[in-house]
Amino acid sequence: MTEKTDNLIETFDEEGNKVSFELLDIVSVDDIEYALLLPVDYEEDSEENEVLVMRLKKEGEDFSFEAIEDDDEFNKIAQYIEELEDELDE
């Protein structure tokens, strides 16, 4: 189960450890929603400060995140996000 408080998402990893993320944005591509998540406990100068892109699945009031296994799907989302960043930079 995932808890959401403002932009803070608390969920559990595959080993059952609690993990916190900041929800940066939700984007929709081909009628599928994706969450852009930044780990809360990141180190500012670390190269591991990558934004995670996860498929957002809603079931009534509950929601969950799914990993994107398909390379083509991930590449499509990554390209969309890059285009958004380019538009913001202009």
Q: Highest mean pLDDT: which of 28-32, 48-52, 81-85?
A: 28-32
Confidence of residue 53 (pLDDT cuts 50, 70, 90): very high
This prediction's pTM: 0.75
Tokens read off for 12: 């559990």
Do residues 55 and 64 touch, judged by C-beta distance below 8 A?
A: no
* Strand duo 18-29 + 8-12: pairing: antiparallel
Q: Where are the domains of the chain?
A: 3-89
**21: closest CA among 7, 1, 6?**
7
pLDDT tens, residue by residue, 70-88: 999 999 999 998 888 887 7
pLDDT tens, residue by residue, 34-48: 999 988 876 665 555
CA angle 50, 59, 54 (to 5 degrees): 15
DSSP, res 27: E
